[in-house]
Amino acid sequence: MLPALLPLLLLLSEVLQERPAPITAGLVAEKLTALAESRPFDVRKAAAAWFVKHANEPSVAKALKPLEDVAAFDQSPEVRGYAVYALGRIARANKVACPQVVFDALFDREPDPEYPEVRHVALFAGAALHEFKPPPPALLPTIARLLRSPDPHCRVDGVVLVNNFTRDAASRKVLDQQPAVARLILKATSDPELEVRRVAAYTQFQLTKDVAEFFGNALRHQDDVANLPALPMTAMEPEKSKRAGYQIGAIGVTTMMEDRVQESATGTRDAFLKLLVETDARTRRLTADHLGRIAGPSDEAPPHAALRGAAFDVKRLQANTRAIVADAAIRSRLKSLAKTDPDEKVCNAAKAALELIGMTTDK
């Protein structure tokens, strides 16, 4: 994933640096000339990146129409990507409508010649649109198209865009007026593609704040990743990178669950009780398994604790975890599942959880 983000990160670092101003109309014209298709790739790429860096300059606003042509027609996905990013930043700086080519760029999937897994144009289009708060009106229908796309990369991008806008009050107000978007995110939590499901689980939680729903999605995602078939010895690097991404994503799901436990023992206990009572057999089994796992030694920090920020309170997490597994309602429900659940796997999972907690079904 790092190669995919590196061009964007490098460009952002340049954009944020101090720079002299103003930019003259003559210099803008010179950079537009450098974008001509007859110019070498490196020259076009540098010129397009220049427009990103100087998007806030008043004189650059006149470059919108020529940049639209570059974003639509340049033969290089890298040049198109920079042009798309520049267009979004220029439109936002000048408070004008974001050009349609920026929205269309979200569907541009031409791979980078050096890094086939990188889709520069869609990457930079997403970066440009993330900067709009609230989202441009034309973006919501585009997000719906992304979420309905047969391409899983498009569906991931659509969910990521929604997730981005759930964290801003003005953007959230716009989203709340579009129930169709919320329905598509809910549908995405059961998407055929693992990565879509993972990001959708986060986004659905941002929309609903339903801890039980998130825990159910999270436990099923962890189980899906744990049960992926082993990669063949002949697996190539893109496939290995994708598998590593799944593993990292599963850790991210775990940490978000821990954050909820850290915040509230009562709220997360109620979420676990709901999952043990009202859901399908698989989720009941996975919830019982999870309660057994977290009943382990309470003096041991999670293996990924060192990667967490200062807000991660291991001792509070441990105390809340002990309170959850010691809760009478949790133990009573596990005991009931161990004796009466119609699914044998659920019964066995509940028995195992009780043993790990320190109980048996006879107590």
pLDDT digits (tens), the chain, 363 positions: 445 555 666 666 655 554 555 688 999 999 999 999 899 999 999 999 999 999 999 999 999 999 999 999 999 999 999 999 999 999 999 999 999 999 999 999 888 777 777 788 999 999 999 999 999 988 999 999 999 999 999 999 999 999 999 988 999 999 988 899 999 999 999 999 999 999 999 999 999 999 999 999 999 999 999 999 999 989 888 788 889 999 999 989 999 999 999 999 999 999 999 999 977 999 999 999 999 999 876 666 676 676 677 677 888 988 999 999 999 999 999 999 999 999 999 999 999 999 998 864 444
Looking only at Cα atoms, what is the longest distance across the chain?
86
d(C-alpha 69, C-alpha 83), whole Å: 9
The pTM is what? Answer: 0.84
Q: Are 159 and 203 in contact (CB under 8 A)?
A: yes
Q: Which two tokens stand for residue 82?
A: 């920079």
Residue type (1 letter), 165: F
